[in-house]
Amino acid sequence: MRWTLKPTPANEKVEKLAKELQINKTLATILCQRNIETFNDAKKYFRPSLEDIHNPFLMKDMDLAVERIEKAIANNENILIYGDYDVDGTTAVSLVSSYLKTIHPNIATYIPDRYAEGYGVSFIGIDFAQDNDFSLIIALDCGIKAIDKVAYATEKNIDFIICDHHKPGDEIPKAIAVLNAKREDCNYPFDELCGCGVGFKLIQALGSKRNQTIKDFIPYLDLVATAIAADIVPMNGENRVLAYYGLQVINKNPRNGIKAIIHQSKKTELTITDVVFTIAPRINAAGRMKHGNYAVELLTEMDFDAAVDFAAAIEIFNADRKDLDKKITDEAIIQIIDNEEENRFTSVVYQEDWHKGVIGIVASRLIEKYYRPTLVFTKSGDKLAASARSVKGFDVYNALHACEEFIEQFGGHKYAAGLTLLPENYEKFKNKFEEVVKTTIDKELLTPEISIDAEIDLSEITPKFFRIIQQMAPFGPMNMKPVFKSTCVRDNGYGKQVGADKTHLKLSVFQGDNKKTFNSIGFGLGEKMEFVKNDFDIVYALDENEWNGHKSIQLMLKDLK
């Protein structure tokens, strides 16, 4: 691990903020690092307000989208809500369809089959719309590159409204409206919404025509918060406000589908991290193992008992997904070792019978092991399909762009993408991708980095200090949970390796003459037990541990030296 300390902001800024907020300098430093430099900035940050949600009509084409939907309602047209099969797509479809059903009866949903149709808008989906007399398709979390599909639909007199957040290509599809804040010609103030977030702006715009205010849309924010968490979009600006209120809905009054998942997991107060690791994988499992429709049915189910039955079925999909993901990861590692590819700059693996639904997870697992840009391929019809994942700081989307002569189709983000290619191009692509990464990546990026907010003494960790850190939630990219470094700590002698295979580390640490100890847990750090005999340095985040009704501050160790 590379330990890097974030730059310290100007001292006068830090001191001014510390005085205004009556907090210590460490906390003021962390806030200044996040561009929170005044009392007003801090008020906005610590007290997110629904008043900071932007006017949806600032988004290019929003007026056109609303006009076309109002026309469809007036003419009693059938509207198809179309979305991708992952968490962002299925929550977006659930959100827009459930709102539109409150104002128009002729609403249906469509999630493409991951295996028969693949990602995004499909010709099969458009044929389904034609066969069932749909004259308007609203595409969510996909469609920004569906130029030929939108043209195909237009020939069949089917109009498209696209709500997407992926990077546009050089050409924008000729749809009635294309809502995407990443468009060059869109001046919307925040361009990091997820797909479900763009869907939320659409219903917010439709609601404003019906004298509905942002307060009327709070019940939909459990879906938006789930998508923000799962899609790993920046947790700042509008996303932070949406996630903050969405978490309140999840914890106080979630829709039946989310309530059923929480009920099964036996969690009480959920954080964004719990949403990422508890709710999101179960919604995702439906699209990975069976069909994304299951997720939409779960998330729009009005009857709690029926939702519990859906959640139980999805729980089985999730268990199957875990087994498969472990099996395929093991096979991929054997392939890398057998081909003597451990020292390459990339991991590119392929087996034709690997389950398409879990290759993205497998790519993430391989990054945990080898830490380099990774692609996992499987057979999909007469082509090969892959999920790409990257390491922090390296744009895998741009790297794929440099290899596009061998690719049939690709799309995605800086850190996660998908692509298809012809089998005969696999080896050529693999070699080209290795060459592109090798010549463009900063070699430092191949060692995982721990970004440290501040170096502190353990004595600074008081209940007040911890309470302020907790109020900085929800955490996510651009607003990560603060990470601290403390030097020359010792274990009180009772440190041990824990877990079935002794892979974790449990310590009680103190510093200097101050004998106050902090319970610490380091997941995956069991092998570092040998460093604990003398003084050592630690990097950690703060968490709350509850045991027999007693709460205490716990250090979540990330590394030690």
Q: Are 509 and 458 in contact (CB under 8 A)?
A: yes
Within this chain, do residues 441 and 501 fall inside the same structural domain, yes or no?
A: no
Give me the pLDDT at residue 268, please: 79
Q: Is residue 334 part of a domain?
A: no
Within this chain, do residues 406 and 436 fall inside the same structural domain, yes or no?
A: yes
Give me the pLDDT at residue 412, please: 79
Within this chain, do residues 289 and 212 fall inside the same structural domain, yes or no?
A: yes
Q: What's the pLDDT band for 315 if we cut at 50, 70, 90?
A: confident
Task: Give the tens place of pLDDT for each residue, 70-106.
Answer: 999 999 999 999 999 889 999 999 999 999 999 999 9
Give me the pLDDT at residue 533, please: 84
Q: Are 213 and 440 in contact (CB under 8 A)?
A: no
Q: What's the pLDDT band for 546 if we cut at 50, 70, 90?
A: confident
Q: Is residue 6 part of a domain?
A: no
Give me the pLDDT at residue 211, please: 96
Distance CA 342, CA 532 (A): 30
Q: Are 91 and 220 in contact (CB under 8 A)?
A: no
Helix/strand/coil for 92: helix
Distance CA 90, CA 141 (A): 9
CATH number at residue 541: 2.40.50.460
Within this chain, do residues 363 and 466 fall inside the same structural domain, yes or no?
A: no
Output the pTM of the full model: 0.89
Return the DSSP state at 287.
I
Sequence-distant (≥ 6) Cβ neighbours of residue 194 within 8 angstroms: 88, 141, 165, 224, 227, 228, 231, 233, 239
Q: Is residue 274 part of a domain?
A: yes
What is the enclosing helix (H) or strand (E) of 165?
A: none
Distances in whole angstroms, Cα of residue 331 to Cα of each of 215, 244, 253, 328:
50, 40, 43, 5
CATH number at residue 121: 3.90.1640.30
Please give the average per-residue pLDDT across 424-429, as a whole number. Answer: 96
Q: Is residue 70 part of a domain?
A: yes
Helix/strand/coil for 455: strand
Q: Are 556 and 538 in contact (CB under 8 A)?
A: no
Q: Does the structure show a pLDDT above 90 at 286?
A: no
Return the DSSP state at 524.
T
Within this chain, do residues 464 and 528 fall inside the same structural domain, yes or no?
A: yes
* 5-19, 199-213, 231-245, 254-268, range with the lowest pLDDT: 254-268
Domain boundary among 446, 477, 509: 446
Question: Hey, what are 39's tokens?
Answer: 């009392």
Please give the average per-residue pLDDT across 212-241, as a whole number. Answer: 95
Sequence-distant (≥ 6) Cβ neighbours of residue 269 within 8 angstroms: 251
Candidates 132, 128, 104, 105; CA nearest to 116 is 128
Question: Hey, what are 170's tokens?
Answer: 């050089």
Residue 433 half-sphere exposure toward CB, CA atoms < 13 A = 27
Domain boundary among 446, 475, 501: 446
Share of the chain above pLDDT 90, in %: 83
Within this chain, do residues 424 and 471 fall inside the same structural domain, yes or no?
A: no
Q: What's the pLDDT band for 118 if we cut at 50, 70, 90?
A: confident
Within this chain, do residues 439 and 493 fall inside the same structural domain, yes or no?
A: no
Q: Is residue 146 part of a domain?
A: yes
Return the DSSP state at 269.
S
Token pair 């630690």: residue: 538
Provide the H-helix boundaries in 166-271.
195-208, 221-231, 237-252, 256-265
Q: Are 257 and 500 in contact (CB under 8 A)?
A: no
Q: Are strands 374-380 and 383-389 parallel, antiparallel or unpaired?
A: antiparallel
Candidates 94, 133, 136, 139; CA nearest to 112 is 139
Q: Are 516 and 510 in contact (CB under 8 A)?
A: yes
Sequence-distant (≥ 6) Cβ neighbours of residue 489 within 8 angstroms: 458, 509, 510, 511, 535, 536, 537, 538
Q: Is residue 25 part of a domain?
A: no
Within this chain, do residues 161 and 175 fall inside the same structural domain, yes or no?
A: yes
Q: Does the structure show a pLDDT above 90 at 518?
A: yes
Within this chain, do residues 410 and 552 fall inside the same structural domain, yes or no?
A: no
For 137, other C-beta atoms within 10 Å of its C-beta total: 26
**What φ, ψ does residue 294 adopt, rounded to 5°?**
-60, -40
Q: Is residue 14 part of a domain?
A: no
Average pLDDT, rounded, for the chain: 94
Please give the average per-residue pLDDT across 61-67, as a whole number. Answer: 98
For residue 70, give its domain range. 56-313
CATH number at residue 392: 3.10.310.30
Distance CA 406, CA 394 (A): 21
Token pair 């012809």: residue: 422
Sequence-distant (≥ 6) Cβ neighbours of residue 291 within 8 angstroms: 85, 111, 113, 114
Domain boundary among 257, 278, 313: 313
Candidates 86, 84, 191, 98; CA nearest to 141 is 84
Q: Does the structure show a pLDDT above 90 at 357?
A: no
Task: Give the tens place of pLDDT for each residue, 453-480.
Answer: 999 999 999 999 999 999 999 999 899 9
Distances in whole angstroms, Cα of residue 178 to Cα of each of 98, 113, 531:
21, 24, 56
Domain count, the chain: 3
Task: Give the tens place of pLDDT for each residue, 479-509.
Answer: 999 999 999 999 998 899 999 889 999 999 9
Cis (ω within 30 of 0) for the bond into 474?
yes
Q: Are 455 and 461 in contact (CB under 8 A)?
A: no
Within this chain, do residues 402 and 462 fall inside the same structural domain, yes or no?
A: no
Q: 130: exposed, middle or buried (C-beta count within 10 Å: 0-12, 13-18, 19+)? A: middle
Within this chain, do residues 94 and 81 fall inside the same structural domain, yes or no?
A: yes
Q: Is residue 196 part of a domain?
A: yes
Q: Does the structure show a pLDDT above 80 at 287?
A: no
Within this chain, do residues 350 and 436 fall inside the same structural domain, yes or no?
A: yes
Give me the pLDDT at residue 288, please: 74
Q: First CA to last CA across the chain, in angstroms? A: 10
Sequence-distant (≥ 6) Cβ neighbours of residue 528 within 8 angstroms: 505, 522, 559, 560
